Amino acid sequence: MASQERQASEAVRSGRIATIARKTKETEIRVRLDLDGSGQYRVSTGIAFFDHMLESFARHGLFDLELEAKGDLAVDLHHTVEDVGIALGQAFREALGSAVGIRRFGACLLPMAESKVEVAVDVSNRPYLVYQLELENLRIGTFDASLTEDFMYAFSQSAGLDLHVEKRYGKSPHHCVEAAFKGVARALREAVAIDPRETGLPTVKGAL
């Protein structure tokens, strides 16, 4: 028991940090993620709206995020968005380490202008995505908002998250998608926080 408490406290002191490099024929991505940061970010994917969403994710999760992605944007945005989700999820899972002492569950009901999105997450290492963010149109400038689901799926699978994203209401696709990214960040911020009363893994199974 004392050993698990020590692991949890050491994780906070040293910072839960991971660096991931992922290269395919379609994309080249580097991610550095610090779960115990202050919301600092440096993001470049070549997709302006997506950069804005990832910056919001970092700021509202209080994660320090450095992310650079180069992809075949002339072909489509899909490869870059999906592969960023994979790489960011891998970094999240690695930075989480043993997961000793985390709260595990998090939720956020986030309003943005006329929109409201509900997010719930279980850092369970049993990935699943429930995504109910129906939009009245899919264009946010040049960004295809349907790619948000591709990102969330890739991220949740690689990070080992049971992730639920549901639009309560809303009209603006920009507001709905941004509320989703911020809601995921806030829910994860709660879920990965170290609970001072938790002395081990938050499960009766003995492992996540």
Q: What is the pLDDT of residues 5-60, one digit of tens each?
A: 444 444 444 589 999 999 999 999 999 999 999 999 999 999 999 999 999 999 99
Residue 204 domain flag: no
Q: In the chain, how many domains are there?
A: 1
Residue 198 domain flag: no
CATH number, residue 82: 3.30.230.40
Residue 201 domain flag: no
Residue 207 domain flag: no
Residue 4 has pLDDT above 70, yes or no: no
Average pLDDT, the chain: 92
pTM of the model: 0.91
Which class for 121: exposed (0-12), middle (13-18), buried (19 or more C-beta within 10 A)? buried
Residue 206 domain flag: no
Residue 153 domain flag: yes
Q: What is the pLDDT of residues 64-98, one digit of tens each?
A: 999 999 999 999 999 999 999 999 999 999 999 99
Q: Containing domain of residue 171, as a range?
A: 2-192
Give the per-residue pLDDT at 207.
72
